[in-house]
Chain A
């Protein structure tokens, strides 16, 4: 299984853009499906979306107008951008991998907490 590590700012101001990166090791980003999942403090899990190495994306309709997921094969990373954030976007953000489209999440990063506050 691959290892995943999230990175990015832990504090974002309201109305600004949240940007996170997930670095993949032990495997190539040029395979598999790569997802972002978030978990507000004390709450459940919400799938944000995924990207397939070919560039195809699939986003949660609840967030699609604000989300972009991209992949950088040269750095073996994939990224999340979430625009116009509010306090409701405060959460632990996880990156995760799936071996196929109709597949469970078989590897997860440790997560990074992002707080939206002025």
Chain B
């Protein structure tokens, strides 16, 4: 299985400040034939299912605010919230869809400082 490891487990950021979440995969999720990284980011608010924010490591889902961005390649990825808003308080998960079983990171809890 591809193990996804996120860091940190939680972070507290002031409103308007930048939040950065890292995700590391135990093997590369970059497919060389199409140069795509098979990596998605999800946001989960309390009592709700996860919602996709980013796919192909850096493509924002339609309707997702542009303060959310994804970067990275191979085994190391980052989700950045450029200016944290109150509604961004949530759990964030990375997930690889390069191989089965599909696997998720353990989650990162983002709170307001």
Give residues 89-107 of B contacting A (CB, 8 Å).
93, 95, 97-98, 100-107
User: Is A62 in the interface zone, CB < 8 Å from B?
Assistant: yes
Q: Give Cα A61 to B1, complex, Å.
A: 9
Most chain-B CB neighbours within 10 Å: which of A35, A61, A102, A110?
A: A102
B44 to chain A, nearest CB (A): 8
B104: which A residues are within 8 A, CB to CB? 44-47
Q: Give Cα A47 to B48, complex, Å.
A: 17
A3 to chain B, nearest CB (A): 12
**Segment from B16-24, B50-58, B73-81 that makes contact with A:** B50-58
Given contacts A104-B52, A105-B50, A110-B49, contact A62 B38 (CB under 8 A): no
Given contacts A45-B93, A111-B49, contact A102 B38 (CB under 8 A): yes
Chain A contact-residue range equals 20 to 34
Q: Give Cα A74 to B54, complex, Å.
A: 34
A29 to chain B, nearest CB (A): 19
B47 to chain A, nearest CB (A): 9
B53 to chain A, nearest CB (A): 10
B39 to chain A, nearest CB (A): 9
A44 to chain B, nearest CB (A): 5
Q: Give Cα A62 to B1, complex, Å.
A: 10
B52: which A residues are within 8 A, CB to CB? 104-106
Q: Do B101 and A103 touch across chains, with their CB atoms under 8 A apart?
A: no
Using a CB–CB cutoff of 8 Å, the interface residues on chain A facing chain B are 35, 44-47, 58, 60-62, 94, 96, 98, 102-106, 108-111
**8 closest residue pairs by CB, A with B:** A108-B49, A104-B40, A47-B102, A60-B101, A45-B104, A104-B55, A44-B106, A58-B100
10 contacts between A and B (CB under 8 A): A44-B105, A45-B93, A47-B104, A61-B101, A94-B50, A103-B97, A104-B52, A104-B95, A104-B97, A105-B40
